[in-house]
A and B are shown apart, each in its own frame.
Chain A
């Protein structure tokens, strides 16, 4: 036993694992700290909580998203009461589920448990995910759907991808239309499943894709109909299609970019305008909840995502999907793609799928639209870090230590810890962050 412990301590990944474990514990604690604070509605909670109340009272929903997110909050209010706990409990539960699904997906897709636990640490210790685990808003729910989509995409059989992916797509699109972004990784996982090339496999894959779409449509219609029925409105398939078309038309018209928190998608890489989810002035102090991410994770994830995208574009899809053995002592992007090209492509198309609505249209955009894409980038960063452990263990260790130091510095503004106004301004030093 003692020998085994001593052997484990000598593993290059052991100190990294300890720091990662601390990050997970601290991240969970920051999600739970003063969870019911404040007792008043935060940011856009008024849209979702008020309409959850409307569903419970049998009144119409005036919000511009499909019903599921608000139905989840309504169920929570029914169980935990119409107060801060009831409004925010689903965000907390789904936020923790995001960490679990993201970690499992990374471990399975990149065939390395270390990718899983590093991803868990990075997701845990990031203010973007912490913030959206503490508020009754829908974007954290979409983050969970994105993580679940990667987990489904990591399964081997086309049958499981279609049977689990279809309902997942229906659920994601029932929260927000942009949830349809989960379709891309599921489709790529189906189309690139093993045994490609044989005619009957091609037919099987097309059939599986058809089943996926049919299940997604059925789940979407059923969930939308539940909302309509609760609101005492017609709930036929025609009514669902009509209501969905109206919502889509409404969204297409939202192009003014006048809201104080809007931000164009190119600025998300900085990030220029993270949303301040809550700010409560107190005598001689302030308590804030910022959605600013962990800058080491943020910039690292964006850099890895951009590098892999450029490399895949350079190599071409065929070379990326072709399996190759990487030299054990090499740590270049090309070697990473040679070993994990398909997995990287699945994650990158998830990123692209959730970015597409904002890149391809002029619809008003906010940084929270980036959250599911960011989840994909963090999974890639976790996988890349795990890939580097045998090759550059000290670099990876220094990176996770940097993540820990930034977590410690930014923790107060990620969980409503009382601060002096100066201390808050030191952390959110760009005026656009406050």
Chain B
């Protein structure tokens, strides 16, 4: 038979543990997956073939062009066009993984015009993107002959519409 004081103390401890679990669960996670977010990234026309990531397995259903060992995945393009993930840097300096940026109509028009004019002007793309998930360990590189940089916890998203700002 447990003494009343002992029962009271165990109740306090149990309530404390329960409250701690509730506080943790209500911590205020960023609501990301499946939400639409505005992402502003900067690019130059030459970025299109240069930016690449490497990861084991898909991130929120999307894939990097290279597997975790840095080997190119397959040879064919994804069936729905440019839907590989590529790394970009936001105007706030955050690295994100986006798919479909250079396939987006306004961006494609800008790239075509810039390449025809021989321009290497850097622009800001303000894109509406649907968040697919957050990566685990992933590597990114900014040039085909560049070294892979380790990253972790990058947001992966599919671009739906972009505005080009010079």
Q: B-contacting residues of A (Cβ < 8 Å)?
A: 9-10, 12, 14-16, 18-19, 22, 34, 36-39, 83-84, 280-287, 393-394, 397-398, 401, 404-405, 407-409, 411-412, 416-420, 422-424, 426
Q: Is the CB of B31 within 8 A of A9?
A: no
Distance to closest chain B CB from A281 (angstroms): 5
Q: A281-B94, A409-B23 are in contact. Are A38 and B6 (CB under 8 A)?
A: no
Distance to closest chain A CB from B70 (angstroms): 15
Q: How far is the CA of A280 from the CA of B153 in the complex (A)?
A: 10
Q: In the complex, what residue of chain A is closest to B21 when comparing beta carbons?
A: A408
Q: How far is the CA of A87 from the CA of B42 in the complex (A)?
A: 31
Q: Is the CB of A423 within 8 A of B17?
A: no
Q: A-contacting residues of B (Cβ < 8 Å)?
A: 2-3, 5-6, 8-10, 12-13, 15-17, 19-21, 23-24, 27-32, 35, 37, 39, 90, 92-94, 96, 129, 131, 134, 137, 149-155, 157
Q: A281-B94, A284-B35 are in contact. Are A397 and B9 (CB under 8 A)?
A: yes
Which of A34, A283, A397, A426 has the most chain B CB within a 10 Å cutoff? A283
Instruction: List 6 A-B pairs, minimum CB-CB distance, nearest first.
Output: A423-B28, A285-B30, A401-B16, A39-B150, A15-B13, A408-B20
Q: How far is the CA of A423 from the CA of B28 in the complex (A)?
A: 5
Among A37, A83, A282, point to the contact of B94 (Cβ < 8 A). Answer: A282
Q: In the complex, what residue of chain B is closest to A6 when comparing beta carbons?
A: B2
What DSSP secondary structure best describes chain B's contact surface?
A: mixed
Q: How far is the CA of A357 from the CA of B12 in the complex (A)?
A: 43
Q: Is the CB of B17 within 8 A of A22?
A: yes
Q: Is the CB of B17 within 8 A of A420?
A: no
Q: Is the CB of B23 within 8 A of A405?
A: yes
Q: How far is the CA of A286 from the CA of B153 in the complex (A)?
A: 11
Q: Is the CB of B30 within 8 A of A404?
A: no
Q: How far is the CA of A18 from the CA of B20 in the complex (A)?
A: 14
Q: A10-B6, A408-B24 are in contact. Are A19 and B31 (CB under 8 A)?
A: no
A-B contact list, 8 entries, CB within 8 Å: A22-B17, A38-B152, A84-B150, A283-B155, A285-B155, A408-B24, A419-B30, A424-B28
